[in-house]
Amino acid sequence: MYVAVKGGERAIANAHAFLAEERRGDTAVAELTVPQIREQLKLAVNRVMAEGSLYDPDLAALAIKQARGDMIEAVFLIRAYRTTLPRLAASLPLESADMACIRRVSATFKDAPGGQVLGPTFDYTHRLLDFKLLAEGEAPLAAEAAPLAARTPHITGFLNRDGLIQDEPADNTTPPDLTREPLELPASRALRLQALARGDEGFILGLAYSTQRGYGRTHAFVGELRIGTVAVEMEIPELGFAVEIGEVEITECETVNQFKGSKTEPPQFTRGYGLVFGQSERKAIAMSLVDRALRWKELGEDFTGAPAQDEEFVLSHSDNIQATGFLEHIKLPHYVDFQAELELVRRLRSEAAAAREAAE
Amino acid sequence: MSLSAAETPAPDLTPGLTPAQQARRAHMGLLARARPDDLARGLAGLFPDLPAHSFLRAPEVGAVMVQGRTGATGAPFNLGEMTVTRCTLRLASGEVGHAHVQGRDKAHATRAALVDALMQTDAASDVQGMLDGLTASEATRRRARAARAAATKVEFFTLVRGEDQ
């Protein structure tokens, strides 16, 4: 017999006070400000915006501070906040060809028009701890050169001109929205891309890596990886035309994948696509590999049973807030459920014991 | 294959707009992208007190769903939302100004809507001077970023191997 009880208010209040004190840490050390997080932990801010699915660097920095650096907790805070906002409208689709690129590399064409622009990359660093950063007051200066052409054309555009790669014709259908309707399977590619864009970086990375190791291999080349800012445009009903409402920094990855061709299609390359808020090329590359793996059906490929090909598996498990919510709830009181299990085990044991006695 | 393509021109995203609409589109975008401090300083330089106005739609923070395109050129998909503040107001003289600006700064949205309204009044030429200042500081910011990126462009050189000589 278990009787439901109330209690714990004082313990919970004190636990929250303890949390707040721990968050602050040693008061002999200066307190971290939200602008410091926004400016100096920018990639953490970017990840929280991408997986929180809300572009607002100040809020993401605040969430990181409040969550004591726990990224998934910070994403949770952003997701909770965004549900309080009225949806004003949808933007026009971003024109990533107009991106002001700070980084743009191609692994397929050395002499790509627009060049190989490395930008602020960790690539080619030695991954040795830099003890100079322990000292305060560093303000390094970047080198400058005459700016390049304003517009950097997409690599896939050149391949497409020769018909060597599958076309991606524009249309203006209204895409499905995961935040408005529950996930339905089979999912369209637009819905899959939305889920991947807000999915957990670690999960998407693991899936993408599994395709490279042979679980749904698609032989991906990074045709192009670009990072930069693009304008966001929106139709203003009162005016009857679209205006720019701001700018977002995004990372875009386009992969070029092998494709044998079919009865109706000549042999040509196919594509995987990754697009993520902020600077997050690991996520963008991983997203494009998983996007391509999930396209096996439309491209007439075999389903090999690989996890990255299974859209139900991928889309049902990519959201870290859903995942952590369900995972972590099992630490909360389950006294009644467990009491029922306990009663059952006791009854089975006594029945088994009785049966054994009767047999003897 | 050859990739030595000519510069692809940016598509015209504003077909069929009148010159007045083009100009309004340009200054509304500029105001949305402007640093809130820059706009506040610029407007205070022209109007120490904000011009009298009444709200038709008080500043409101909301979310706009940002769309991308599959493969950069294909069908739209929902990438994620961004915070946006919108505001509509009317000057005492009757002109209506609109603003949709990124972020959650209601004062910034109000100033942007005020400038949009003022651009329909006799003050337009003075306000345009302030907008030119915003354009210049934006261009400086963009050039600084582009210059740093340009300095990281790889210059390949070919190593001549002995057997080719």
Tokens of B1: 């294959």
Residues A32 and A163 placed together within one structural domain of the fold: no
Residues A113 and A59 placed together within one structural domain of the fold: no
Contact (CB<8Å) A100/B145: yes
Asked whether residue A137 is domain-assigned, the answer is no
Provide the pairing of β-strand A270-277 with A54-55: unpaired
On the question of a cis peptide bond just before residue A186, with omega within 30 degrees of 0, the verdict is yes
Asked whether residue A207 is domain-assigned, the answer is yes
- Model pLDDT, residue B14: 65
Asked whether residue A173 is domain-assigned, the answer is no
Query: Count of CB atoms within 10 A of residue A206's CB?
Result: 14
For A259, the domain range is: 96-119+148-168+179-324
Query: What is the number of domains present in chain A?
Result: 2
Nearest-by-CA chain A residue for B10: A98
Asked whether residue A241 is domain-assigned, the answer is yes
DSSP string for residues in B70-118: GGGTSSEEEEEEEEEEEEEEEETTS-EEEEEEESS-HHHHHHHHHHHHH
B57 and chain A in contact, CB less than 8 A: no
Contact (CB<8Å) B69/A112: no
Tell me the per-residue pLDDT of B77-109, one tens digit each, with 9 for 90 and over: 999 999 999 999 999 999 999 999 999 999 999
Residues A60 and A196 placed together within one structural domain of the fold: no
Which are the contacts of A357, defined by CB distance < 8 A and separation ≥ 6?
Answer: none
Residues A14 and A60 placed together within one structural domain of the fold: yes
pLDDT, block means (10 residues), chain A with 360 residues: 73 96 97 97 98 98 98 98 97 96 93 91 93 83 90 86 86 92 93 98 98 92 96 94 97 90 80 97 98 93 94 97 95 90 94 92
Residues A60 and A105 placed together within one structural domain of the fold: no
Q: How far apart are CA A238 and CA A240, in angstroms?
A: 6
Window B:9-28, CB contacts with A under 8 Å: 9-11, 13-14, 17, 21, 24-25, 28
Instruction: For chain B, give every domain's residue range.
Output: 21-132
Residues A74 and A201 placed together within one structural domain of the fold: no
Nearest-by-CA chain B residue for A248: B82
Residues A223 and A262 placed together within one structural domain of the fold: yes
Window A:93-122, CB contacts with B under 8 Å: 93-98, 100-103, 109-113, 115-121
Could you report the predicted ipTM of this complex, rounded to two decimals?
0.93
Q: How far apart are CA A277 and CA A54, in angstroms?
A: 9
Query: Residue B53: helix, strand or coil by DSSP?
Result: strand
Dmax over CA atoms of chain B, in Å, equals 83
Tokens 């929902």 belong to residue: B78
Q: How far apart are CA A317 and CA A143, in angstroms?
A: 43
Residue A29 to chain B, least CA–CA distance (Å): 30
Q: Report the half-sphere exposure of A336 (CA within 13 A, side-chain side).
A: 3
- Model pLDDT, residue B6: 44
Provide the pairing of β-strand A241-257 with A270-277: antiparallel
Tell me the per-residue pLDDT of B12-51, one tens digit each, with 9 for 90 and over: 556 789 999 999 999 999 999 999 999 999 999 999 999 9
Asked whether residue A142 is domain-assigned, the answer is no
